Amino acid sequence: MTIRAIAIAGALAGAALVATGALSADQAPQGGGPRQGGLMRRPGDGRTPEFPEPTITQYKPRTTLKTPQHPTPKAKFPVIDVHSHQPAPIGDAQFAQVVQGMDANNLRVLVNASGTQGDRLVQAVGALKASRFKDRMVQFTDLDFRNVGPGWAAKAVAQLEADKKAGALGIGEISKAFGLRYRKADGSRLKIDDPELDAVWDAAGRLGLPVLIHTAEPQEFFETIDVHNERWLELALYRDRRYPAGEFPRFEELIGERNRMFRKHPKTTFIAAHFAYHANDLARAGQLLDEMPHVHLEVGAILAELGRQPRAAREFFVKYQDRILFGKDSFQPDEFPYFWRVFETNDEYFDYYRDYHAFWKLYGMGLPDDVLKKLYYKNALRLIPGLPQSGWPQ
């Protein structure tokens, strides 16, 4: 899609609103007359470019803005990443390569959220304990949501108990497919708040296993893919990130199911992955935390949302400093420094690491040291029993 195509489509949409009466002619976004309250058209109204127009993927203007720059290759304090994905079990050579990337970033511990259970969990935990890097990674278990029906919950609880005994420190990452794609034994959609799952969530609380849960996807993934969708490029590139109406439940439906499930299990610790997909609506994220003290947030894959609203995000992190954990999701060592820069500096107008996630620039939040320590490691140490407790800055 070219820049001109986007502009034309936007103008057509505006014309349609005028035609239906939703906008008056002087409010319309295209040229042709003065704006509301003005005597003249704005310069540029109705003009078209003289030169060939780049596509949306080609337009990469270089900035002339000169501001202080403080790239931050390494976190100021040691970090626990509560949302990493690694092989389970992991081989020694693979682990050594991962640790190299960890050391470069001051990542002290990874939580392997590629959860596994049963014999494979035993193998995964055993490989970590036998490794020369045994204090650098811990393992979560998982839930098998296939064929939920009569008798499923009892087996799932028994498996959780066995996995806890084998060394699992939590549950997750509960996949985004939960609520979207999983089917019950009778063929119906498995809803997140299904009563047949209640015993499992209660068992997680009883066993002291925090639950890292990924619900839904960014809100725009469920919306019409048009020139108004700010994730247009990502959706155009990735077919599996599209959730059209009629084929999938809606975003609000999934969030409603998740929140009802949270409310039913106040004694279980939940870590809502990806900021519960409310990083674009911090008031809503705050409402979730205010209502449910057993729910926490992690920051995986939502840095672009925080970096475009640095003042509001800073206020949020200060207010809810005991409720937010660091998580990255994809383990790409060269991407972590963008997180450190947003969290630690007051830099302005710098690039995000994946332009298809965000076409906008980032700004630093300049978090205080006491907030950084909680975000980076203190909250994880408190919420996930079994993590290495010694050697952390006070």
392 domain residue, yes or no:
no
Instruction: Tell whether 389 is covered by a domain.
Output: no
**Residue 1's pLDDT band (boundaries 50, 70, 90)?**
low
Q: Is residue 11 domain-shared with residue 135, that is, in the same domain?
A: no
What's the structural domain count of the chain? 2
Burial class of 8 by CB neighbour count within 10 A (0 to 12, 13 to 18, 19+): middle
Return left, alpha or beta for 266; rule: phi > 0 is left, psi -120 to 50 is alpha, else beta. Answer: alpha
Is residue 228 included in any domain, yes or no? yes
Residues 141 and 37 both lie in one domain: no
Q: Are residues 31 and 99 in the same domain?
A: no
55 and 134 inside one domain:
no
Together in a domain, 260 and 352: yes
Residue 22 tokens read as: 């939703």
Is 66 among the domain residues? no
Does residue 22 surpass a pLDDT of 70? no
Domain ends where: 9, 35, 61?
61
* Residue type present at position 219: Q
Residue 394 resides in a domain: no
Q: 47 with 84, same domain?
A: no
pLDDT value at residue 35: 62
Lay out the sheet containing 171-174: strands in order across.
171-174, 211-213, 270-272, 295-298, 324-325
Does any domain span residue 390? no
Average pLDDT for the chain? 91
Is residue 265 pLDDT above 80, yes or no? yes
The phi, psi pair for 108, rounded to 5°, reads -90, -40
379 and 250 in a common domain? yes
Query: 378 and 243 in one domain?
Result: yes
pLDDT of residue 358: 85
Decide if pLDDT at 163 tops 90.
yes
Q: Are residues 110 and 166 in the same domain?
A: yes
> Does 73 map to a domain?
no
What tens digit of pLDDT does each residue of 304-362 get?
999 999 999 999 999 999 999 999 999 999 999 999 999 999 999 999 999 888 889 99
- Three state DSSP letters for 3-44: HHHHHHHHHHHHHHHHHHCCCCHHHCCCCCCCCCCCCCCCCC
Contact 26, 33 (CB under 8 A): yes
Cβ neighbours around 104 below 10 Å, total: 14
Cβ–Cβ < 8 Å for 270, 262: yes
Q: What is the pLDDT of residues 105-157, one digit of tens each?
A: 999 999 999 999 999 999 999 999 999 998 999 999 999 998 899 999 999 99
Cα angle, residue 177 at apex, residues 199 and 304 outer, rounded to 5°:
115
Average pLDDT over residues 73-93: 97
- 252 and 320 part of one domain: yes
Q: Is residue 219 part of a domain?
A: yes
111 vs 19, residue with greater confidence: 111
Contact 296/325 with Cβ under 8 angstroms? Answer: yes
Residues 24, 147, single domain; the answer is no
Q: Give the CB-side neighbour count of residue 345, counting CA atoms within 13 A.
A: 21
| Domain extent for 46 | 1-61
Three-state SS at 250:
coil
CATH number at residue 110: 3.20.20.140
138 shares a domain with 20: no
Predicted pLDDT of residue 20: 43
Average pLDDT over residues 94-102: 98
Q: Average pLDDT of 229-258?
A: 96
pLDDT at 338: 98
Q: What is the spatial distance between Cα 360 and Cα 356, in angstroms, rounded to a whole number?
A: 10
pLDDT value for 362: 97
Residue 36, both tokens: 């509301």
3-state SS string over 277-321? HCCCCHHHHHHHHHHCCCEEEECCCCHHHHHCCHHHHHHHHHHCC
